[in-house]
Amino acid sequence: MDIITKSCFSSSVRLSDSNHAVSLGFAHLQASTRFFPQTASVSFIRRKCVRAMSGDNMERGGVKPLFVKIPGSDLPTQIETRFKVTVVGVGNVGMACAQTCLTEDLVDELALVDIQADKLRGEMLDLQHAAAFLPRVKIVADTDYAISAGSDICIVTAGARQREGESRPSLLGRNLTLFKSIIPQLVHYSPNAILLIVSNPVDILTYVSWKLSGFPPNRVIGTGTNLDSSRLRFLIADKFDVNAHNVHGYMVGEHGDSSVPLWSTLTLANVPVLNVRDKNGVSYSKESLQELHRTVVESAYEVIKLKGYTSWAIGYSTASLVKSLLRDQRRIYPVSVRAKGFYGIENEVYLSLPSQLGRAGVLGVANVKMGEEEMQKLQQSAKTIWKLQSELEF
């Protein structure tokens, strides 16, 4: 049953034209994962595969099997999944992360977890129905965290959403309780995973996740100011009429209100932005750039006011981090990491610093040039986070 079993498995999550005759019977099974204990559905599929492809069936009624094993083949009965990613929380942000990971071809298995069973199943089916247009990926979903077992990365987006005008810290109390139920279960089923936290306030919840997980700090990361930095790069790129990929620079510190732009790292074609004029002949000073920083900080509130939530940019930001982690790209991102001891930060906090991300998680924090004022703001950002965090009970 080896090859036959394997081809039936792959068919069960994909409905491509070429194999749909074999797969139709199994697509429903896969879609209904949460109603079938895995072992039961697996053995059912196996049995069905054997029947469908046995010698007896080769020409029954003129109907031929789609594939026939080459005599003498030595094929494995199971193919190991290479990269498995779990997304906890299938709201706007979770689905943007899931969708971007799929279109960027980053995962072989995607597991979705949420407390809303119907929404979860609906989102899973909706993604599965795009199988003909996506890379081959097994997509599963369940309210039970067992579905996340063996994940390489667990992305946590579950939580109460930021309300119009609500500061990120005010979300904290609402989200802390959720994390106490989520993190231990992820750790139980995926003890070697990297936790990638997205829910807000992201810096404190990343610290909470680190504490609750017992993982080494290199395996607990928050998306942090990667998104803020992208927003800044977009604004600069627009002013200079260049590709945002060619705008280099970081915002560090807290994701959001007390974030710190490192103007001295902000360059275009290696030229500091402070030394060149934009497409309208405007030149910039540190003071005029503060206006851009304000725009960046307010942009999340603006998007929330306009459409109710933010999703696409954080989805792409997260997928970009997943790519560097899973593929060991060793790219440098401003993400929320355990910051104590760096740049004069004395408190036990998570906040964003330019960090190298590879298969083992955070490989190191970059020693970037930081002015005295920037360093002070960063330390102030750490104190702001610490003050809120020290009131937590968990």
Ligand X SMILES: NC(=O)c1ccc[n+]([C@@H]2O[C@H](COP(=O)([O-])OP(=O)(O)OC[C@H]3O[C@@H](n4cnc5c(N)ncnc54)[C@H](O)[C@@H]3O)[C@@H](O)[C@H]2O)c1
Taking residues 285 to 324 in sequence order and writing x for each that binds ligand X by CB under 6 A, - otherwise, the string is ------------------------xx---x----------
**Given candidates 86, 157, 213, 324, which one binds ligand X under the rule CB under 6 A?**
157
Q: What minimum distance in Å lies between the beta carbon of 359 and ligand X?
A: 23
Query: Angle at Cα 148 formed by Cα 147 and Cα 153, nearest 5°?
Result: 160
The single residue among 14, 255, 323, 377 that binds ligand X, judged by CB under 6 A, is: 255
- Find the catalytic residue in 188, 248, 255, 293: 255
182 binds ligand X (CB under 6 A): yes
User: Among 53, 93, 204, 268, which residue sits at the site for ligand X (rule: CB under 6 A)?
Assistant: 93
CA–CA separation, 247 and 260 (whole Å):
17
Contact between 86 and ligand X by CB under 6 A: the answer reads no
Q: What are the residues facing 112 on neighbouring strands?
A: 87, 141
φ/ψ bin of 208: left (φ > 0), alpha (ψ from -120 to 50), beta (otherwise): alpha
Tokens of 293: 């920083």
Site string for ligand X, 112-141 (x = CB under 6 A): -xxxx-------------------------
* Torsion, Cα of 297, 222, 214, 139 (10° steps): 130
Question: Can you say whether the dihedral through the CA atoms of 265, 262, 311, 111 is positive or negative?
Answer: positive
> Where would I find the H helices in the chain?
2-13, 20-31, 38-53, 92-103, 117-128, 168-189, 202-213, 226-240, 286-307, 312-326, 372-389
The DSSP 8-state label assigned to residue 65 in this structure reads P
Q: Closer CB to ligand X, residue 207 or residue 284?
A: 207
Smallest gap from Cβ 198 to ligand X, in A, equals 5
Distance CA(330)–CA(153), nearest Å, equals: 16
**12 vs 310, which CB is nearer to ligand X?**
310
Instruction: Kindly state the tokens that stand for 281.
Output: 């002949």
The verdict on 248 binding ligand X (CB under 6 A) reads no
The distance of closest approach from Cβ of residue 148 to ligand X in the complex, given in angstroms and rounded to an integer, is 11
- Residue 23 binds to ligand X (criterion: CB under 6 A): no
- Answer whether the bond into residue 201 is a cis peptide, omega within 30°: yes
Least separation in angstroms between residue 75's CB and ligand X is 38
**Segment 206-225, which members bind ligand X (CB under 6 A)?**
223
Instruction: Report CA torsion sign: 115, 116, 122, 123.
Output: negative
Binding residues with ligand X: total (CB under 6 A): 30
Least separation in angstroms between CB 185 and ligand X: 9
Residue closer to ligand X by CB (options 124, 158) is 158
What secondary structure does DSSP assign to 98-165, as a single string? HHHHHHTT--SEEEEE-S-HHHHHHHHHHHHTTGGGS---EEEEESSGGGGTT-SEEEE--SPPPPTT
Residue 255 known to be catalytic: yes
Report if residue 91 touches ligand X, rule: CB under 6 A. yes
Active site residue ranges: 255
Binding-site ranges for ligand X (CB under 6 A): 88-94, 113-116, 157-159, 161-162, 171, 178, 181-182, 198-200, 202, 223, 227, 255, 309-310, 314
